[in-house]
Amino acid sequence: MAPRSIDWIWHIRGSLQLAPKQSSDDAFDKLAPLFRLTGTSHERTNDTLTFRKTGQAAQDKMSVFDGGVLQIEKGAAGSVLRYQLTSRALMFCFLAPLLFLGFAQLTVAVVELQIPSTKTADKSGRAADASKKHEKKDAKLLQNPIDKALGAPAPEKPKKDGAGKSKEDDKKPSPTSAYVFAAIFAILYLVGRILEDLLVKGLFKRRLLGL
């Protein structure tokens, strides 16, 4: 069993006060239709109901949950329904941002490793460009007057370093996509964690009231 300090990530817990004089049998009878759906199996022992879901249909209002325990506790102020539900979907949405952040950090590390080799290549490229420019200048100075008179094209100007650099920068891996996906899944988890808590509590409350 996972410690309670972290199992809140994929567990949803809550409680509902039962109507005065409402028995455990009456409460579970009203909740029973929720556990008679395709892919759902359940067992009831006295005041405890345990259920499991496998291959649940999308129409199932509790399809996000994979199992759970519902228990009715009797107290001086009346009976209380306490529930604890588990969801692998919530766990996935919680872990996905961490996975994508790991990809982003890996991408950053790869880019940093490529920087020294890029600098070396730039230095050698600049040296080569300088020698080519020198050769072209010499070629221009040594151009045959006859060729020039016949309209022979002058040597082409070397391309600017900026154009080559921009193309190389475009080819470098970027962590931006990983950060975007991490943010998307983080938002999905926060919204889902809050929303599913409210939805299941409202669902149980309506059933217990016979609505």
Please report the domains of the chain, with CATH numbers, ordered by start residue.
4-88+193-208 (3.30.530.20)
| pLDDT reported for residue 158 | 54
Residue 25 CA to residue 209 CA, distance in Å, equals 14
Do the strands 48-53 and 40-45 form a parallel or antiparallel pair, or are they unpaired?
Answer: antiparallel
Which residues on neighbouring strands pair with residue 85, listed in sequence order?
A: 12, 68
Contact 192, 100 (CB under 8 A): no
Could you give the angle at the alpha carbon of 82 between the alpha carbons of 81 and 84, nearest 5°? Answer: 140
pTM of this structure: 0.69
Residue 15 CA to residue 70 CA, distance in Å, equals 9
| pLDDT reported for residue 109 | 87
Residue 54 CA to residue 42 CA, distance in Å, equals 12
| pLDDT reported for residue 76 | 77
Contact 32, 97 (CB under 8 A): no
Q: Which stretches of the chain drop beneath a pLDDT of 70?
A: 1-4, 116-171
Going by C-beta distance under 8 Å and a sequence separation of 6 or more, which residues neighbour residue 180? none
| pLDDT reported for residue 139 | 46
**What is the longest distance spanned by two Cα atoms in the chain?**
115
**For residue 189, which phi and psi values (nearest 5 degrees)?**
-65, -50
Distance between first and last Cα of the chain:
36
Around Cβ 71, how many Cβ atoms within 10 Å? 17
Residue type, 71: Q
